[in-house]
C-alpha cells in the first residue's frame, strides 16, 4: 500500500482520526481536507490514487461532476446514508461505507475498492491486448488472400492467435465475475449488500404479485450492539457482525437471501413463504443466535437479536408497505424487551420511544 496516495475529505473528527490511523497503519501517503472547495483544488493540482469523501460536504450534482472529471480514480464515500446521492454516483468506481464504522471494516472496504480499481485497469489492458490480437488476425487474413503458398503457415498463425484469444477471453471472464461478486457483497460480513437487497426485494415482490405467491421479509437488529461496541471495541463489534451473518446464512433455505441492511441491521428475503412459515424460520433463527456464544477478550458472551416480520398478506399490497411493516415490527420487538419475534400489521404505528431513538 506504499504507492497509494489518498485524499480524505471529511470534517468529522472521529472519522478523520480513524481514517488517519488506518492510513498510517497501511503506510499510505495521505492528505486530509475539511473544506470541499479546497479539496477540489487539490484534486486538480495533485495526483491521488483514491479519494475518501464525506457525502454531506457535497451536493449530489457536484459528486457527479467530480467523478466525471476523474474517471479513473476510485472514490470511497462515507456518511450515514446514500440518500439523494445514489443516482449521482458512478457505481463502477465507487463504494459506500456507512457511519459509524470500525477500523477493520474501513480497511476491508479500502482494500476492496483498490482491488476493484486494479482489476478494472487489468481488464482495460487485456482489452487492448485483445484488440491487438484481433488486428493481427485481420492482417494475417489479408496475407492469406494474397498468398496461397503460405496457407500452412497462416493456419499455424491462426491457431496461435486463436489460443491467445481464448486465454485472454477466459481471463476477462474471470475478472468480470470477480467484479460482479464484489459489487453485490458486503465486504465485512460476506453476505449480500444493501444495493443487491433492494434489487432482489423489488424483483421478488413483483414476481410474487404476478404468480399470486406469498413473500415474507425478516428485518433483524442485533440487540444492544452500540453498547457492545463501546464496551469491547470496534474490532470485537466487527467480529460479532461476521458471526451473526454466518448464523443467519446457516439458518436459511437455499433460495432465501440474506443481506446486511446497514450498521447492525440485517434483512432476509423469504420467497414463496407465508406468515406461518416465516414465523417458524424467524424463531429458529432467533434461538440459534441466542444459543451461540460470541468470543471476546474476556472469553465469550451471549448476543441476541430482535426480528420483525412482514408478509404480503392482509392489506400489505406494495413493496414500501412490506418493508415498512417488517421495519415497524422490528421496533415493536425492541420496544417489548428485545430478543423476540413480532409480526408486522398494515398501518401499524412506530413505537414512540423507538422512533425517536433513530435520530
The residues with which 37 forms a beta bridge, in sequence order, are none
Per DSSP, 347 falls in state T
Please say whether the beta carbons of 328 and 316 come within 8 A.
no
DSSP-assigned letters across all residues of 256-321: -EEEEEETTEEEEEEET--HHHHHHHHHHHHHHHHTPEEEETTEEEE--EEEEEEES-TT--SHHH
Catalytic residue among 152, 264, 290, 298: 264
Under a CB-based contact definition with an 8 Å cutoff, are residues 338 and 318 in contact? no
| End-to-end Cα separation, the chain, in angstroms | 37
Q: Torsion angle of alpha carbons 56, 58, 64, 70, nearest 10°?
A: -110
Q: Which three cell numbers stand for residue 343?
A: 409480526
299 forms beta bridges with 296
The CA distance from 23 to 25, in Å, is: 5
d(CA 94, CA 73): 9
In the DSSP assignment, the letter for residue 192 is B
All residues at 6 or more sequence positions from 298 whose CB lies less than 8 Å from its CB, including other chains: none
Q: How many CB atoms lie within 10 A of CB 323?
A: 20
Order of strands across the sheet that contains 29-33: 29-33, 5-9, 50-54, 75-79, 94-98
Residue 264 catalytic? Answer: yes
State how beta strands 265-271 and 257-262 pair: antiparallel
Q: Tell me which residues are annotated as active site.
A: 264
Amino acid at each position: 500500500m506504499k504507492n497509494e496516495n489518498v485524499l480524505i475529505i471529511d470534517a468529522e473528527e472521529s472519522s478523520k482520526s480513524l481514517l488517519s490511523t488506518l492510513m498510517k497503519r497501511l503506510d499510505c501517503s495521505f492528505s486530509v481536507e475539511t473544506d470541499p472547495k479546497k479539496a477540489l483544488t487539490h484534486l486538480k493540482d495533485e495526483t491521488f490514487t483514491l479519494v475518501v469523501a464525506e457525502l454531506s460536504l457535497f451536493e449530489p450534482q457536484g459528486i457527479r461532476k467530480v467523478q466525471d472529471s476523474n474517471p479513473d480514480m476510485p472514490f470511497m464515500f462515507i456518511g450515514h446514508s446514500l440518500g439523494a446521492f445514489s443516482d449521482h454516483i458512478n457505481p463502477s468506481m465507487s463504494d459506500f461505507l456507512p457511519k459509524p464504522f470500525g477500523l477493520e471494516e474501513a480497511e476491508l472496504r479500502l482494500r476492496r475498492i483498490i482491488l476493484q480499481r486494479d482489476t478494472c485497469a487489468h481488464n482495460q489492458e487485456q482489452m487492448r491486448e485483445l484488440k491487438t490480437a484481433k488486428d493481427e488476425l485481420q492482417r494475417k487474413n489479408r496475407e492469406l488472400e494474397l498468398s496461397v503458398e503460405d496457407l500452412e503457415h497462416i493456419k499455424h498463425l491462426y491457431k496461435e492467435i486463436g489460443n491467445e484469444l481464448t486465454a485472454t477471453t477466459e481471463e476477462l471472464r474471470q475478472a468480470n465475475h470477480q467484479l460482479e461478486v464484489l459489487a453485490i457483497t458486503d465486504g465485512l460480513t460476506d453476505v449480500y449488500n444493501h444495493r443487491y437487497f433492494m434489487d432482489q426485494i423489488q424483483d421478488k415482490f413483483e414476481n410474487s404479485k404476478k404468480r399470486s405467491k406469498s413473500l415474507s421479509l425478516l428485518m433483524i437488529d442485533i440487540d444492544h450492539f452500540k453498547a457492545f461496541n463501546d464496551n469491547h471495541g470496534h474490532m470485537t463489534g466487527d467480529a460479532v457482525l461476521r458471526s451473526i451473518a454466518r448464523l443467519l446464512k446457516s439458518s436459511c433455505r437455499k433460495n432465501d437471501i440474506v443481506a446486511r441492511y446497514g450498521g447492525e441491521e440485517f434483512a432476509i428475503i423469504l420467497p414463496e413463504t407465508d406468515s406461518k412459515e416465516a414465523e417458524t424460520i424467524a424463531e429458529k433463527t432467533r434461538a440459534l443466535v441466542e444459543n451461540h456464544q460470541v468470543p471476546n477478550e474476556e472469553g465469550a458472551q451471549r448476543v441476541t437479536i430482535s426480528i420483525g416480520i412482514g408478509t404480503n398478506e392482509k392489506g400489505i399490497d406494495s413493496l414500501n408497505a412490506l418493508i415498512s411493516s417488517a421495519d415497524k415490527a422490528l421496533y415493536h420487538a425492541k420496544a417489548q424487551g428485545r430478543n423476540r419475534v413480532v409480526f408486522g400489521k398494515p398501518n401499524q404505528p412506530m413505537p414512540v420511544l423507538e422512533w425517536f431513538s433513530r435520530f
